């Protein structure tokens, strides 16, 4: 039996996939129930592909919005810089759609699928330490109990500290802050298409807006925290001029916030032990490419295929090393986007000129390695 630590997207997806292959498993979750996270999430084609392979995409479709374009605009005047025709790209390459949905809906679908399979999710079961010095792996629970397991999948996300000696966290100082808000379409002071992700680029910050569920729009703003006061009010004098309608949106949104973590993770997993790490527990991905959930789903599907394939099972650790190359490429591209999105003059002028003159379809073709990935 596999024991999975964490019931986030990676952990639940892995549990669901193992159960579908007849592999017994159980899940340990530190919280009482899955936390309410009623905000938007983007599911790019490589993410929806995994959900389709899991047999869950059709069940989720009533809660999904199809995205046909990504519109890149200026924060200064809302002028369109370029359009990325993701809908046409999907059709041309015979991919599953680019979707958005509520994060809660995805969580609930995965949770129900896991529980309907007969798998137990052990709530209020926080694991604080993993010891692999004996033949069996010992899990130390917060309540003081020690339990022994043979096979382990660590999927506890962005935990504050590592619970396993062979997963080493190195937190890098990061001054970037993310604000998120939900707003109805009627309260947006400018037009946004119902099938489009809007990416607004400005000096030192960017904003992403997209529809996701029940006529709601998800609004995300990312910038350096030095441009905020203690009440999460932006210092508009320091971030440069922005369109008055964008100013109205920023001031009227009811924001929640969290600080982005730059975390370097070193995996020294023992090749002689059935101990694996997936999702944010294995790699930290910045949100500037909208790939956090996609990588969690890919990880779960990739690992499950290895576990259930007798010809590959003995080479799991080696194959996971190969997968790291793809994940690192995603991490690097996301990091590049941060600087690309927040560029100041004259680099921002060069950026906008290039984007304005490039064909959107051609630009998307440079991302085939990301969106057309099949496991």
Bond prior to 346 in cis (omega within 30° of 0): yes
CA dihedral of residues 223, 226, 230, 236 (deg, nearest 10): -70
Domains observed in the chain: 2-33+123-171+262-337 (3.50.50.60), 63-98+175-260+343-375 (3.30.9.30)
pLDDT of the residue at 177: 86
> Quick check: 27 and 354 in contact, CB under 8 A?
no
Q: What is the pLDDT of residue 150?
A: 92
Predicted TM-score of the model (pTM):
0.94
Q: Block means of pLDDT (10 residues each) for the chain, length 375 residues?
A: 96 97 96 77 98 97 97 95 98 98 94 95 94 91 94 87 84 77 91 95 94 90 85 78 92 85 72 88 89 96 91 78 91 92 91 93 97 93
**Alpha carbons 306 and 23: distance in angstroms, whole number:** 12
3-state secondary structure 66-134: EECEEEEEECCCCCEEEEECHHHHHHHCCCCCEEEEEHHHHHHHHHHHHHHCCCEEECCCCEEEEECCC
d(Cα 73, Cα 82) in Å, to the nearest integer?
7
Kindly write down the DSSP assignment for every residue of 161-186, as one continuous string. S-SBTTEEEEEEP--EEEEEEEEEGG
């Amino acid at each position: 039996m596999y024991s999975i630590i964490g019931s986030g997207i990676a952990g639940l997806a892995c549990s669901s996939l193992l159960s579908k292959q007849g592999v017994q498993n159980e899940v340990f979750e530190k919280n009482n129930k899955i936390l309410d996270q009623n905000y938007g999430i983007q599911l790019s084609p490589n993410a929806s592909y995994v959900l389709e392979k899991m047999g869950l995409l059709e069940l989720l479709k009533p809660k999904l919005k199809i995205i046909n374009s990504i519109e890149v605009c200026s924060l200064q005047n809302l002028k369109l810089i370029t359009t990325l025709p993701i809908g046409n790209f999907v059709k041309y390459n015979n991919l599953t759609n680019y979707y958005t949905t509520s994060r809660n809906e995805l969580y609930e679908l995965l949770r129900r699928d896991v529980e309907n399979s007969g798998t137990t999710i052990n709530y209020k079961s926080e694991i604080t330490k993993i010891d692999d010095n004996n033949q069996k792996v010992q899990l130390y629970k917060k309540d003081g109990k020690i339990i022994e397991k043979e096979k382990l999948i660590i999927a506890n996300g962005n935990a504050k500290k590592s619970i396993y000696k062979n997963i080493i966290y190195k937190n890098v100082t990061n001054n970037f802050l993310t604000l998120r808000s939900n707003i109805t379409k009627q309260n947006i002071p400018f037009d946004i298409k119902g099938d489009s992700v809007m990416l607004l680029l400005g000096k030192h910050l960017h904003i992403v807006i997209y529809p996701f569920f029940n006529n709601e729009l998800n609004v995300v703003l990312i910038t350096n925290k030095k441009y905020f006061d203690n009440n999460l009010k932006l210092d508009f004098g320091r971030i440069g001029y922005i369109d008055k309608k964008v100013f109205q949106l920023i001031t009227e949104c009811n924001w929640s916030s969290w600080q982005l973590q730059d975390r370097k993770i070193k995996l020294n997993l023992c090749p002689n032990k059935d101990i694996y790490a997936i999702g944010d527990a294995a790699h930290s991905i910045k949100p500037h490419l909208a790939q956090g959930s996609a990588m969690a789903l890919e990880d779960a599907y990739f690992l499950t295929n290895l576990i259930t394939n007798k010809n590959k099972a003995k080479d799991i650790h080696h194959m996971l090393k190969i997968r790291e190359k793809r994940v690192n490429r995603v991490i690097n591209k996301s990091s590049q986007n941060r600087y690309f999105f927040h560029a100041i003059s004259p680099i921002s002028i060069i950026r906008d000129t290039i984007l304005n003159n490039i064909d959107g379809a051609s630009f998307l073709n440079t991302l085939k390695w990301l969106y057309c990935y099949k496991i």
